[in-house]
């Protein structure tokens, strides 16, 4: 047990409806002050085996449970989340350093919405029957089995339930492996689900390191689906481990997304969109970190951008006036700093930031904007996942599109323009799973979500989630003799 932000959190695994410890533990450190906040049970192959066994045993009954009952239980879990928004927000902020105001206003309420959405979508899921030469075709979505869900640290509970909710709605059972840098709210979720009446073994949580618990989980022969959000190198390892079992994968990976600003754009809107990319201290996979600005307005845009960023407040994420908190972990902080240092060595110039916030110390990194980075340099091609943006200019629409598509990623893109026809032309050519025009981070669970190129494999959301978490079956029935 641990007391975190005044909330009691059980630090054991949740397997088969019981709390389970491990012989070893790992230390969970708060990014706010780099102080230990909990000792977490460190799972490995034995705990994974127990969790998969529990999920396998629970699967037949859960798969036979009616859609209406599964939906009712998901709504009950959502009710439990709603009752504990403040507790979940406090623990999440202590654990991953994101803003308390964001957790209260949007992130934790979105957790409940994830469960309600997929519960309701399940009840309307279907396809009209159709005929082939007098034969009736009927499409159905059958539960697939045990799902291994491996989730990231930047929005731990919200992104976990983006996977957990559709998997449970589909009739699958789940083994959830949360990120080791932010495991606490996954443990709280297990308790909320149990209180809601979710049967034992349907949801299991195994904590541990990716190289231990994660590796054992994705290689397990009884796992029938793997959904992972994280880095490209880790995804390659997961795909290799899943290959012998032919386990279907859904991978949401990194990004190096562009924000294209044309001269006909609303300048204030474009600047607001650019500044918004510092959200969550830059630890957002969808962030448009490459600012591509038409040369004729680049000077004015930069002037307005610098004025806006000067008003950003960096500090303790528990303070409601804070706009930018810390990086998640010392290892990640050093990675961000290494990328910034190498960018300077390559000739890029920092107009703002360019290093740690020495006034705050710890894991706080100043919002940074680079200009003049050489074409093809690391800072223009590799995901930083920190508060680091680059600015480049273009002269023509064709050049802008080529620059936007000029990385190995294709997760998202943002476009600022006052011309609807230009917006249509450009968005059609952009390689991205999601494109926003004159807006950012507008997300609807009915829409497909995923990446192109090395930003991912597959799509989730709405029917796409059920297509992944189910075995989609077509039954063809010949005409019955009268």
Does position 151 have pLDDT exceeding 80, yes or no?
Answer: yes
Does position 134 have pLDDT exceeding 80, yes or no?
Answer: yes
Q: Is 285 a catalytic residue?
A: yes
Identify the active-site residue in 252, 294, 383, 460.
Answer: 252
pLDDT single digits (tens) 54-65? 999 999 999 999
Residue 365: per-residue pLDDT: 98
pLDDT single digits (tens) 23-56? 999 999 999 999 999 999 999 999 999 999 999 9
Residue 322: per-residue pLDDT: 98
Residue 285: per-residue pLDDT: 92
Which whole-number Å values give the CA distances from 419 to 7, 188, 403, 435, in the listed order?
Answer: 51, 48, 20, 16
Q: Is 252 a catalytic residue?
A: yes
B/e letters for 146-182, b = 16+ CB within 10 Å, e = fewer, are bbbbbbbbbbbbbbbbbbbbbbbbbbbbbbbbbbbbb
Return the closest-CA partner of residue 174 out of 13, 55, 279, 281: 55
| 437 — pLDDT class (breaks 50, 70, 90) | very high
Does position 191 have pLDDT exceeding 90, yes or no?
Answer: yes
The C-alpha angle 99, 104, 109, rounded to 5 degrees, equals 125
Identify the active-site residue in 180, 212, 285, 470.
Answer: 285
The helix/strand/coil state of 84 is coil
Region class of 81: left (phi > 0), else alpha (psi between -120 and 50), else beta: alpha
Residues 151 and 252: their CA atoms lie apart, in Å, by 10
Which CATH entry fits the domain spanning 2-253+451-475: 2.40.110.10, 3.40.605.10, 3.30.160.150, 3.40.50.2300?
3.40.605.10
Residue 288: per-residue pLDDT: 97
Mean pLDDT for all residues in the chain: 97
pLDDT single digits (tens) 100-117? 999 999 999 999 999 999
Same fold yes or no, 2-253+451-475 and 258-437: no
Q: Say if CB 440 and CB 276 are below 8 A apart.
A: yes
Residue 423: per-residue pLDDT: 98
Does position 407 have pLDDT exceeding 90, yes or no?
Answer: yes
Interhelix angle 108-124/462-469, rounded to 10 degrees, is: 80
DSSP string spanning 312-380? --BS-TTSTT-SB---S-HHHHHHHHHHHHHHHHTT-EEEE--SB-TTT-TT-B--EEEE-PPTT-HHH
Residue 482: per-residue pLDDT: 76
| 178 — pLDDT class (breaks 50, 70, 90) | very high
Residue that has been written with the tokens 């059980």 in this structure: 10
pLDDT single digits (tens) 441-477? 999 999 999 999 999 999 999 999 999 999 999 999 9
pTM comes to 0.96
Tell me the β-bridge partners of 13.
20
Residue 481: per-residue pLDDT: 85
How many residues in the chain? 482
Residues 71 and 196: their CA atoms lie apart, in Å, by 12
Residues 364 and 32: their CA atoms lie apart, in Å, by 9
Return the closest-CA partner of residue 299 out of 307, 310, 289: 307
Return the closest-CA partner of residue 368 out of 382, 384, 347, 381: 384
The architecture that CATH gives domain 258-437 is 3-Layer(aba) Sandwich (3.40)
Residue 211, number of CB atoms within 10 A of its CB:
12
State the first-to-last Cα distance of the chain, in angstroms, to the nearest integer: 67
Domain boundaries, the chain: 2-253+451-475, 258-437
């Amino acid at each position: 047990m641990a007391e975190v932000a005044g909330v009691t959190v059980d630090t054991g695994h949740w397997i088969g409806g019981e709390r389970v410890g491990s012989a070893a533990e790992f230390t969970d450190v708060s990014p706010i002050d780099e102080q230990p906040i909990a000792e977490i049970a460190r799972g490995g192959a034995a705990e994974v085996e127990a969790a998969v066994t529990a999920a396998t045993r629970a699967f037949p009954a859960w798969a036979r449970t009616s859609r209406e009952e599964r939906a009712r239980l998901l709504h009950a879990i959502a009710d439990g989340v709603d009752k504990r928004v403040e507790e979940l927000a406090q623990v999440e902020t202590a654990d991953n350093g994101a803003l308390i105001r964001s957790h209260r206003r949007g992130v934790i309420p979105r957790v409940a919405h994830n469960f309600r959405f997929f519960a309701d979508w399940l009840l309307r899921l279907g396809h009209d029957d159709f005929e082939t030469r007098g034969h009736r075709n009927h499409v159905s979505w059958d539960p697939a089995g045990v799902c291994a869900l491996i989730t990231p640290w930047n929005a731990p509970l919200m992104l976990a339930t983006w996977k957990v909710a559709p998997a449970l709605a589909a009739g699958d059972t789940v083994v959830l492996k949360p990120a080791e840098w932010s495991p606490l709210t996954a443990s709280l979720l297990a308790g909320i689900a149990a209180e809601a009446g979710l049967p034992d073994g349907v949801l299991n949580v195994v904590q541990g390191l990716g190289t231990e618990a994660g590796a054992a989980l994705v290689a397990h022969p009884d796992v029938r689906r793997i959904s992972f959000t994280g880095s490209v190198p880790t995804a390659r390892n997961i795909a290799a481990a899943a290959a012998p079992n032919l386990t279907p994968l859904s991978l949401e990976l990194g990004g190096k997304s562009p924000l294209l600003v044309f001269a006909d754009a609303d300048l204030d809107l474009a600047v607001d969109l650019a500044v918004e990319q510092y959200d969550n201290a830059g630890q957002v996979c969808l962030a448009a970190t490459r600012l591509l600005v038409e040369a004729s307005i680049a000077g004015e845009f930069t002037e307005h951008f610098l004025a806006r960023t000067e008003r950003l407040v960096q500090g303790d994420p528990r303070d409601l006036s804070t706009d930018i908190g810390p990086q998640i972990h010392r290892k990640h902080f050093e990675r961000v700093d290494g990328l910034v240092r190498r960018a300077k060595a390559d000739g890029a110039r920092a107009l703002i930031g360019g290093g740690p916030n020495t006034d705050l110390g710890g894991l706080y990194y100043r919002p940074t904007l680079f200009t003049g980075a050489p074409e093809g340099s690391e800072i223009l091609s590799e995901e930083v996942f920190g508060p680091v943006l680059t600015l480049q200019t273009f002269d023509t629409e064709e050049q802008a599109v080529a620059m936007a598509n000029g990385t190995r990623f294709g997760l998202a893109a943002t476009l600022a323009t006052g011309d609807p026809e230009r917006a249509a032309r450009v968005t059609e050519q952009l390689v991205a799973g999601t494109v926003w025009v004159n807006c950012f981070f507008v997300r609807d669970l009915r829409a497909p979500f995923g990446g192109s190129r090395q930003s991912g494999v597959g799509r989730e959301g709405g029917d796409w989630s059920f297509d992944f978490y189910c075995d989609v079956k077509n039954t063809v029935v010949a005409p019955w003799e009268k």
